[in-house]
């Protein structure tokens, strides 16, 4: 067996995969996000560890005894600060925390080569500006920082006692020379940090340590090897067999991602595209990132008192998407691609007394689909060739949403077995690679296709008709967002 653990934002998932690549067991445990102020998003790292114990503990004990290696996937960018005794200094600031906008400008002022070194526009969600924010606002905490880890790497520390990260996850810190696949001394110095405060770097398919006796006993696992693993999107790509240039993944989770594999480093920072290392050697990828995707549906469901996303989507499906249907800007946590605007807010536009609950849900589904179309334009502008797109994430269960997405992107969407477990499944595959040394092409194959959604001509035409107004709404409101925050 091979075990994959995905440290997500809303849950920790664990999946067991056998040597035939079949999923034989899975477990999960919920997580919550603390939002003490506007644009703040934090979690206690201890919660990740306790949820890991719970998710893995939910797997059959006999099958756990047969595990040969474990891989890790995780939410990216989270600033996990540890002191010299590896004690947590403060709650981790998450990928969706938007308070460090000023520090992004300050970091690029301190190191004018930042975009050339990292290949990325500095964004509030990245790890590096968070450390500048802490140095400025919480100097007593910054003075105690002996080590900075990403969420999954904190769990690795608890598993193995080793401070290690992989190159895909490290790409999102703002401290990596992404083309050279190594820490940048210049970016660390601009952040007031040293190389000694960073974890060791390995490829995602390489070993990173073994379970300690204590962790093995807690999890009731053998003292097995832990793979380097990956950031959640790179892990999901491996889980769906997206490892070769030209292959593309759409992740419809808490956030939304379009992930395109490249055979070389191809940055486009001016349009807020991410250019990161893939979790396999000598491969990179570009990403367009939405900060709010399936979480927008959760949000509107919470307001309506409906926790079942299937029922929400059923209410939307009976509505007719017409010229006078309301719009929704899905910027509940700000936005990255293409706007890089932490001040952006969610907006319903065009409401009338005739609007039904289903019409509002439909506006949310359409708004996320049109935001993905904005992201696709950025990838196409960078020279990517995008054909059929594989879908992963919890939102992949909602096939009517898939119809809207296929129409907005004007691309066929492929659904595959285990797509909702993308990150954990990819982590299990990386565990297998680390243990066996097998070629990635032999292990990271696409799972069986369960559905293919072709773009419907009528929906393509309707969304193309509505999209210009959707785009103008953000431009018209951009200055008002900042005014509202002041």
Catalytic residues: 232
Residue 473's CB is within 10 A of a number of other CB atoms, namely 17
Number of helical H runs and strand E runs in the chain: 18, 24
DSSP secondary structure of 106-132: HHHHH-TTHHHHHSS---TTSHHHHHH
DSSP secondary structure of 189-237: HHTT--GGGSPEEE-TTSEEEE--HHHHHHHT--S-EEE--EEHHHHHH
How far apart, in whole angstroms, are the C-alpha atoms of residue 179 and residue 291?
A: 25
Q: Are 148 and 81 in contact (CB under 8 A)?
A: yes
CA 83 vs CA 27, 89, 409: distances in Å = 32, 6, 46
Residue among 375, 433, 388, 111 nearest 255 (CA): 375
Q: Is 474 left (phi over 0), alpha (psi -120 to 50) or beta?
A: alpha
Tokens of 473: 């709404």
CA 46 vs CA 8, 88, 323, 373, 416: distances in Å = 14, 9, 49, 37, 33
């Amino acid at each position: 067996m091979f075990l994959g653990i995905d440290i997500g934002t809303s849950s920790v998932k664990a999946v067991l995969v056998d040597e035939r690549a079949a999923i034989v067991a899975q477990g999960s445990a919920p997580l919550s996000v603390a939002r003490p102020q506007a644009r703040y998003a934090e979690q206690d790292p201890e919660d990740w560890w306790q949820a890991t114990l719970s998710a893995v503990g939910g797997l059959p004990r006999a099958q756990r005894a047969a595990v040969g290696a474990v891989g890790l996937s995780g939410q990216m960018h989270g600033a996990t600060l540890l002191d010299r005794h590896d004690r947590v200094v403060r709650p981790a600031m998450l990928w969706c925390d938007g308070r460090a906008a000023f520090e992004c400008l300050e970091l690029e002022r301190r190191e004018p080569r930042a975009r050339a070194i990292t290949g990325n526009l500095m964004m509030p969600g990245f790890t590096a500006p968070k450390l500048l924010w802490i140095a400025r606002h919480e100097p007593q905490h910054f003075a105690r920082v002996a080590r900075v880890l990403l969420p999954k790497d904190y769990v690795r520390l608890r598993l193995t006692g080793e401070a290690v990260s992989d190159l895909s996850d490290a790409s999102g810190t703002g401290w990596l020379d992404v083309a050279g696949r190594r820490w940048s001394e210049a970016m660390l110095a601009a952040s007031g940090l040293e190389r000694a405060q960073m974890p060791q770097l390995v490829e995602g398919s390489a070993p990173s340590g073994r379970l300690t006796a204590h962790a093995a006993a807690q999890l009731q696992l053998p003292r097995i090897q832990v793979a380097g693993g990956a950031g959640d999107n790179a892990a999901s790509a491996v889980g769906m067999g997206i490892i070769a240039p030209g292959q593309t993944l759409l992740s419809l989770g808490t956030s939304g991602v379009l992930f395109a594999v490249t055979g070389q480093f191809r940055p486009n920072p001016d349009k807020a595209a991410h250019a990161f290392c893939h979790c396999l050697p000598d491969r990179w990828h570009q990403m367009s990132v939405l900060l709010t995707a399936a979480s927008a549906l959760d949000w509107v469901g919470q307001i309506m008192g409906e926790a079942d996303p299937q029922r929400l989507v059923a209410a939307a499906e009976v509505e007719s998407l017409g010229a006078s249907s309301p719009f929704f800007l899905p910027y509940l946590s700000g936005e990255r691609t293409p706007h890089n605007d932490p001040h952006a807010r969610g907006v319903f536009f065009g409401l009338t007394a005739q609007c039904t609950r289903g019409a509002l849900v439909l506006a949310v589904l359409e708004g996320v689909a049109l935001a993905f179309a904005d992201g696709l334009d950025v990838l196409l502008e960078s020279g990517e060739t995008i054909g059929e797109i594989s879908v992963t994430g919890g939102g992949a269960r909602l096939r009517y949403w898939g119809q809207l997405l296929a129409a907005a992107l004007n691309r066929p969407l492929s659904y595959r077995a285990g797509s909702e477990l993308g990150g954990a499944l990819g982590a299990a595959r990386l565990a297998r690679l680390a243990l066996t040394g097998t070629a990635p092409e032999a292990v990271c194959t696409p799972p069986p296709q369960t559905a293919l959604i072709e773009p419907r001509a009528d929906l393509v035409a309707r969304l193309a008709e509505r999209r210009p107004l959707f785009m103008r709404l953000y431009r018209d409101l951009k200055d008002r967002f900042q005014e509202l925050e002041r």
